[in-house]
Structure 1
Amino acid sequence: MSLATAAPLVLVGAGKMGGAMLDGWLDQGLDPASVTIVDPTLSPLAETFTLRGVSHAARLEDIGLTPAVVVLAVKPQIMGSVLHAASRVLGPRTVTVSVAAGTTLATLSAGLGAGPVVRVMPNTPAQVGRGMSVCVGNAAVSEGDRALVTALMNAVGETAWIDDEALIDAVTGVSGSGPAYVFLLAEALAAAGRAAGLPADLAEKLARQTVVGSGELLRMSPLPAATLRENVTSPNGTTFAALQVLMAEDGLGPLMEKAVAAATRRSRELAGG
């Protein structure tokens, strides 16, 4: 589906995630003149978009149009006031997309009315067009609405849909928080290199490029991650020796399971569940 279908589009909040999405939409051909950023103050990031032809309004009530899509990229703490303002400008078929963590479909729908609402859990690699977004919609979301939201989120990476909103908490634990786990891996690998005697700058470069290159190989290869791991592992070789530690009963697998479970629990707590 063409992104032109999303016009006119209103983006409430142009921080890192909102800005990353808008950058992707404009790069994919969305007409800047069809987009309005709503933010009380024009941040330096938002100002870069106005220089590309995007409009700015301090309040939702000032946009002067009925949007096809409203994207809510604001902190959960101010979502209540944003929903109240948004309910006054939505049309009956306006699609509302929320990327705010912890704000449920029930809360969104209660504040906005009976229209189509989609909750999205993106992640920070969207800033470089490599994001992972998982979407769930309320009962008013049509197949056309799903296709439209998919087109929007595909502009910054990959998109998947779920039917059970309760899974969003586990999604948060895996892909929402997941980039931090990968960055920690790069940190730990560099620290281990230093401990093994490598100069700090070389250890940092080796760790960073190994994570980046392995991620790109994983993206490009049709093979499962387990097969790629096995392809690097010679019997009784150096990688085999390392994996005996990482794949032990108390190794990376159980530790990662505990980490994702902790993030999932916290996501439920933040959502009031």
Structure 2
Amino acid sequence: MSERTHDGGVAVTAAPSPDESLPAADLAAKYGLAVSGARPSLVEYVRQLWGRRHFILAFSQAKLTAQYSQAKLGQLWQVATPLLNAAVYYAIFGLILDASRGMSHDTYVPFLVTGVFVFTFTQSSLMSGVRAISGNLGLVRALHFPRAALPISFSLQQLQQLLFSMIVVFLVVIGFGNYPRLSWLLILPALVLQFLFNTGLALIVARMGAKTPDLAQLMPFILRTWMYASGVMFSINHMLEGRPEWIVRVLQANPAAVYMDLMRYALIDGYGAVNLPPHVWALALGWAVVVFCGGFVYFWKAEERYGRG
């Protein structure tokens, strides 16, 4: 196309491209373009996560190895920390406050140790989950991968740490006269359900922590309150004896208490079914499915916003 200029010359201009008249959405569709970092469908997101399963496992193992790399005792702190906590709780609650009421000494010590290790599993999963995005912004901004891989990796790291620590729990339980029996097989489904529950919570707090990093400072107070309400150091049944039944049932239905009670029931001879809430396995399954699925969808909905701003 040409046009005459003011001095009589002729200027040649390019003809407009056919694409210039197309809306941006149609232009992107024509050339197969997609928004960078756009959230995939839920099914596609699950498929991408499955494709990164080796990365998730390797990342969790690397984090576990590096966790105590600067300490002289190294990986022994995985066991020493909850054991020291159990010793402190035993001195305060078992000896001074007599929180072992209704239980013999040989039952209370395994009861306490099991509760501390199992609750620490949930506690550590949440503390690592709340920093999963905000504490790894360099990785999030540098690489393209489904962001849920990070909180899932941290939960898997805590599961591996608990499995290592369970050796000490077994030794303590056996040392107080509770020998292996068929009920010990219940440990496996209980741990699987607790892992799903922990992972769902980690996904929830990871999204919240990505937007509000100060949540990491508040989380220890929330977890400490949850611990005291979950019967880590005392039996809810015995401690609330004489109180309204509904209060006992509400506290027993607390997910942290449910998973601790299942582990105690499996491992400790003197901790019978009377200490468990009604329909305990239904509660354990319900908490795991609802929190994991809800947490996964809640995290996925903000996928395109992680690492921005």
TM-score exceeds 0.5: no
Higher helix share: 2
Structure with more contact order per residue of length (Cα contacts < 8 Å, sep ≥ 6): 2
What TM-score, normalized by structure 1, do the two folds share? 0.31
Which has the larger share of strand?
Answer: 1
